[in-house]
Homo-oligomer: A and B are copies of this chain.
């Protein structure tokens, strides 16, 4: 008994001594759609490729679990989850920075901005996608990406511009409808508005990125948006066109840190490995796996960066699992070799397939091209006649290819959507050892906010005091309700749209 009493006594005296230590900078890193089984998949694949690898970099950072349910569903979507991480409240699936009554809530990024901190969003999806949107914008539905883009640059955001750096895809939402690549529903040239009215440095070329990374000379606010839609899956990425998530994350850290030091504040940076989720929605183990490996490289880079900047803390957690990934099905089968051959994602080979169908080839040449360049390219060498026939009639060649390869590796997917399982909580840096355990996603927000000494209520009050903004959200909510009805009727189409 005396040993245990001694332990308690020491704890009681030790805690007050370190209570005053606070982080100056906070990084929240969200691996979208990354569940516990995804970690096992990537770990054992890595172990197969290099037997010296027994753990992933993120394995060393695991400190607990996050519960993910949203206000209206046990299974959350990325919008509700991002709002919970950002605002510390529960909301409905689809909602961005608003509560279940479509009233805007202040986010940790906005609270940081109000305190004079630098802020950043670094993602591999469209920058207007649900997860980054939930940290800096307020719309009743995630599909309102034109409005999200406007708020991101500062246009129509009640607090003005709250983002200092953004990197990710989605340039199409910044181009006027008249542009053939535009995704906007109006003729606003938001790219120019951002440059001219809000003084953004808007870049999209790899050369611009490299200049800024190497020179460190950058005017803030700064945007790097290299692709019209999502950035590429890591396994499909052309390094001549797009930097990796790791490169973007470390560049953002360096820029934010330099500016924050100059103005004697800190920064809040949101990073997302956005497309882990898309790989599992599509049942593509290749896209899923390589985006997970890049997530690990980026986490390791952030960890090392914190090693040199000890006043920084990192928390990371997914928004939800995706795909219901199971390893060892059936009969404990597991053949990691099967996953080593593909050089690209299933989506890439599905595009090759569509190309071949369009060529003026003989039937025999088409067939051999499909066997060699589609199935063979993706690592399926033993394709059967039945499988060839099924490819010809499937509505989604990419999912079909993904499921064939999965089955050969011993991987089973139980759903095309998300699941409810708790996700892994990772932490590193100042005081994150105090956040060990099982937490609700809203509690992650409260912990970070408390650590930074921010007041979310202040941001919320300012947002809500803008009556015309509140009215415009309520008005848009009518479209949202339309969208939700539409979604119930066209679940698969919408889901598919979210994958891209």
State whether the Cβ of A36 lies closer than 8 Å to any Cβ in chain B: yes
- With a cutoff of 8 Å between Cβ atoms, the chain B residues found around residue A332 in the complex are 73-75, 93, 417-418
Of residues 322 through 350 on chain A, the ones whose CB sits less than 8 Å from some CB of chain B are 324, 326-332, 334
How many copies are assembled?
A: 2
A6 contacts which chain B residues (CB < 8 A)?
Answer: 18, 21
Q: How far is the CB of A94 from chain B (nearest CB, A)?
A: 12
Find out whether the CB atom of B328 lies under 8 angstroms from the CB atom of A418.
Answer: yes
**A:1-59 near B, CB below 8 Å:** 1, 3-8, 10, 14, 17-18, 20-24, 36-37, 39-40, 43-44, 54-55, 59
Q: Which of A299-358 contact B (CB under 8 A)?
A: 309-311, 324, 326-332, 334
Contact at A37–B420, with CB atoms within 8 Å? yes
Contact A330 B420 (CB under 8 A): no
Are the CB atoms of B75 and A417 closer together than 8 Å?
no
Cα A418 to Cα B331 with chains together (Å) = 9
**A125 proximal to B (CB < 8 A):** no
| A265 in contact (CB, < 8 A) | no
B residues in contact with A418, CB < 8 Å:
328, 332
Residues of B within 8 A of A20 (CB): 3
Selecting from A61-69, A190-198, A454-462, A468-476, the interface stretch reads A61-69
- CB atoms of B3 and A311 under 8 A apart: yes
Q: Is the CB of B422 within 8 A of A36?
A: yes
A63-B436 in contact (CB<8A): yes
User: Are B74 and A328 closer than 8 Å at their CB atoms?
Assistant: yes
Residues on B with beta carbons closer than 8 Å to the beta carbon of A4: 21, 23, 310-311, 429-430
Which B residues are in CB contact (< 8 Å) with A65? 36, 59, 62, 424
Smallest CB–CB gap between A228 and chain B, Å?
30
Q: With CB as the reference atom, state the residue of chain B lying closest to A18.
A: B10
* B residues less than 8 Å from A37 (CB atoms): 419-421
The B-contacting residues of A in range 247-288, CB under 8 angstroms, are none
Q: Is the CB of B417 within 8 A of A330?
A: yes
Counting CB contacts under 8 A, is A433 at the interface? yes
Residues in B with CB closer than 8 Å to A67 are 40, 43, 55, 59
Assess the B24–A3 pair: CB atoms within 8 A. Answer: yes
Q: Does A412 contact B (CB under 8 A)?
A: yes
In the complex, chain B residues whose CB is within 8 Å of the CB of A40: 67, 74, 420-422
Which B residue's beta carbon lies closest to that of A336?
Answer: B74
CB distance from A399 to the nearest CB of B (A): 15
Which bracket fits the contact residues of A?
35 or more
- Beyond A324-B412, A330-B417, A421-B40, is A60–B3 a contact (Cβ under 8 Å)? no
**The residue from B63, B334, B415, B438 contacting A330, defined by CB atoms under 8 A apart:** B415
Query: Given the complex, which residues of B lie within 8 Å of A334, measured CB to CB?
Result: 73-75, 420
A327 near B436: Cβ-Cβ < 8 Å: no
Pick the contact of A415 from B63, B64, B311, B329 — CB < 8 Å? B329
- Residue of B at shortest CB range from A413? B414
The reply to whether A327 and B75 contact each other, CB–CB distance below 8 Å, is yes
Cβ of A437 within 8 Å of any chain B Cβ, yes or no, is yes
Q: Tell me the complex Cα distance, A310–B14, Å.
A: 19
A403-447 Cβ-contact flags toward B at 8 Å (1 or 0): 000000000101111111110100001110100111010000000
- A74-B332, A436-B436 given; A327·B419 CB < 8 A: yes
Q: How far is the CA of A415 from the CA of B413 in the complex (A)?
A: 11
Asked if residues B3 and A421 are in contact (CB atoms below 8 Å), the reply is no
Which residue of chain B has the shortest Cβ distance to A54 in the bound complex? B440
Q: Is A208 an interface residue (CB 8 A)?
A: no
Determine if B437 and A62 form an interchain contact, defined as CB atoms under 8 angstroms apart. Answer: yes
Name the distance in Å between A418's Cβ and chain B's nearest Cβ.
7
Q: Which residues of B contact A416 (CB under 8 A)?
A: 330
A1 touches B64 (CB 8 A): no
Cβ contact within 8 Å between B437 and A63 = yes
| Interface assignment of A491: CB less than 8 Å from any CB of chain B | yes
Closest beta carbon of chain B to A20's beta carbon, Å? 8
**Taking the nearest CB of chain B, how far is it from the CB of A340, in angstroms?**
15
Contacting residue for A22 out of B3, B24, B36, B74, CB 8 A = B3
| Further pairs besides A1-B311, A4-B430, A64-B64: 12, Cβ < 8 Å | A1-B309, A4-B23, A6-B18, A10-B18, A36-B36, A324-B324, A324-B414, A326-B414, A327-B421, A330-B415, A331-B417, A412-B415
Sample (24) of A-B pairs whose CB atoms are under 8 Å apart: A4-B21, A6-B21, A7-B18, A7-B21, A7-B431, A10-B18, A14-B14, A36-B36, A36-B422, A37-B420, A37-B421, A40-B67, A40-B420, A54-B440, A59-B67, A62-B65, A73-B328, A74-B327, A74-B332, A75-B327, A324-B326, A334-B420, A414-B414, A436-B436
Q: Can you list the 6 inter-chain pairs with the closest CB atoms, starting with the nearest?
A: A4-B310, A75-B328, A324-B326, A75-B332, A327-B420, A59-B438
